Amino acid sequence: MDKIQEILQQLSLEEKIALTTGANNWQTVSFEKYGVPSVVMSDGPHGLRKEQVDENNPNVFNSVKATAFPTASLAACSFDRKLVGQMGKALGEECITQGVDLLLGPGVNIKRSPIGGRNFEYFSEDPLISGELGAAYINGVQSNGIGTSLKHFFANSQEFRRVTGSSDVDERTLREIYLTNFEIAVKKGKPWTVMAAYNKINGCFATENAKYNENVLRDKWGFKGAIISDWGATHDRIKALIGGTDLTMPKEQATAEVVQKIKHSPELQKVLDRNCERLLALALKVKEQRDKRKKESFKRSLKPLEVAQKVAEESLVLLKNKDQILPISKKQKITFIGDFAKNPRYQGFGSSHVNSIHVISALEAVSKITEVSFSQGYREDGQDALQLRSKAAEKAKKSDLAVVFVGLPETYESEGYDRSHMKLPENHVKLIDAVSKANPNTIVVLQNGSPVEMPWADKVKGIVEMYLGGDAGGQAIVNALFGIVNPSGRLAESFPYKLEDHSSYLFFGGEGDHVEYREGVFVGYRYFETKKMPVRYPFGYGLSYTTFDYTDLVVDQKDDKASAKVTVTITNSGDRTGKEVVQLYVSPHKGNIIRPVKELKGFTKVTLQPKESKQVSFELDHRSFAYWNVEEKDWSVETGDYDIIIGKNAHENILVQTIHIVGDTVKNQKLTELSTIGDLLKNPNGVKYWEKISDRFFEAVTESGFANQKTDTKQVTADELEEQKNNDMYKLLLSLPITTLSQMIPEYSLEKLKQDIAEVNHGSWRLY
Task: Report, in Å, the least distance between residue 26 CB and ligand BGC.
Answer: 8
* Total chain residues near ligand BGC (CB under 6 A): 7
Site track 45-84 with ligand BGC (rule: CB under 6 A), x = hit: ----------------------------------------
Nearer to ligand BGC, 43 or 418 (CB): 43
Q: Is 246 known to be catalytic? A: no
Residue 600 identity: L
Which member of 50, 89, 111, 151 binds ligand BGC (CB under 6 A)?
151
Task: Report, in Å, the least distance between residue 106 CB and ligand BGC.
Answer: 10
Residue 30, sorted as left (phi over 0), alpha (psi -120 to 50) or beta, turns out to be: beta
CB-based contacts of 49: which residues, under 8 Å, 6+ apart?
42, 43, 60, 63, 66, 351, 352, 353, 354, 355
Binding to ligand BGC (CB under 6 A) within 191-230 occurs at: 230
The CA-based angle 442-444-446, given to 5 degrees, is 175
Nearer to ligand BGC, 151 or 310 (CB): 151
* 534 within 8 A of 636, measured Cβ to Cβ: no
- Name the nearest CA neighbour of 492 among 57, 58, 84, 61: 84
Nearer to ligand BGC, 43 or 183 (CB): 43
* 425 within 8 A of 412, measured Cβ to Cβ: yes
Task: Report, in Å, the least distance between residue 44 CB and ligand BGC.
Answer: 6
- Name the nearest CA neighbour of 575 among 537, 546, 608: 546
Which H or E run includes 620?
strand 613-620
Torsion of CA 410, 412, 418, 421, to 10 degrees: -160
Which member of 48, 68, 104, 318 binds ligand BGC (CB under 6 A)?
104
Task: Report, in Å, the least distance between residue 163 CB and ligand BGC.
Answer: 9
Which member of 17, 43, 47, 528 binds ligand BGC (CB under 6 A)?
43
Q: Is the preceding peptide bond at 610 cis, omega within 30 degrees of 0?
A: no
CB environment 525-544: b (16+ within 10 A), e (fewer):
bbbbbbeeeebbbbbbbbbb
Which member of 31, 34, 231, 497 binds ligand BGC (CB under 6 A)?
231
Cβ atoms within 10 Å of 593's Cβ, excluding its own: 14
Q: Return the HEC string of 247-267.
A: EECCCCCCCHHHHHHHHCCHH
Nearer to ligand BGC, 51 or 679 (CB): 51
Task: Report, in Å, the least distance between residue 172 CB and ligand BGC.
Answer: 27
- Given 101, 126, 230, 679, the catalytic residue: 230
Nearer to ligand BGC, 350 or 663 (CB): 350
Spatial distance between the Cα atoms of 606 and 206, rounded to a whole number of angstroms: 39
- Name the nearest CA neighbour of 451 among 411, 492, 489, 414: 492
Nearer to ligand BGC, 183 or 230 (CB): 230
Sign of the alpha-carbon torsion through 650, 655, 658, 663: negative
Site track 726-755 with ligand BGC (rule: CB under 6 A), x = hit: ------------------------------
Half-sphere exposure of 319 (CA within 13 A, CB side): 25
Nearer to ligand BGC, 151 or 601 (CB): 151
Site track 302-341 with ligand BGC (rule: CB under 6 A), x = hit: ----------------------------------------
Nearer to ligand BGC, 148 or 572 (CB): 148
| Beta-bridge partners for 404 | 337, 444
Nearer to ligand BGC, 69 or 627 (CB): 69
Give the chain's radius of gyration (CA, Å). 29
Binding to ligand BGC (CB under 6 A) within 350-369 occurs at: 351
The CA-based angle 43-46-49, given to 5 degrees, is 35
Nearer to ligand BGC, 231 or 748 (CB): 231
Task: Report, in Å, the least distance between residue 161 CB and ligand BGC.
Answer: 14
Task: Report, in Å, the least distance between residue 249 CB and ligand BGC.
Answer: 7
Which H or E run includes 480?
helix 473-481
Distance, CA of 251 to chain centre: 30
Nearest position to ligand BGC, beta carbon: 351
Distance, CA of 417 to chain centre: 19
Torsion of CA 129, 131, 132, 134, to 10 degrees: 110
Task: Report, in Å, the least distance between residue 493 CB and ligand BGC.
Answer: 20
Task: Report, in Å, the least distance between residue 415 CB and ligand BGC.
Answer: 6
Between strands 401-407 and 317-321, the pairing is unpaired
- Name the nearest CA neighbour of 420 among 120, 157, 116: 116
Task: Report, in Å, the least distance between residue 151 CB and ligand BGC.
Answer: 5
Nearer to ligand BGC, 198 or 625 (CB): 198
Torsion of CA 152, 153, 159, 165, to 10 degrees: -150
Nearer to ligand BGC, 63 or 583 (CB): 63
Spatial distance between the Cα atoms of 553 and 615, rounded to a whole number of angstroms: 10
Task: Report, in Å, the least distance between residue 197 CB and ligand BGC.
Answer: 8
Q: Return the HEC string of 11-64.
A: CCHHHHHHHCEECCCCEECCEHHHCECCCEEEECCCCCECECCCCCCCCCCCEC
Task: Report, in Å, the least distance between residue 422 CB and ligand BGC.
Answer: 23
* 622 within 8 A of 662, measured Cβ to Cβ: no
Binding site for ligand BGC (CB under 6 A): 43-44, 104, 151, 230-231, 351
Catalytically active residues are 230
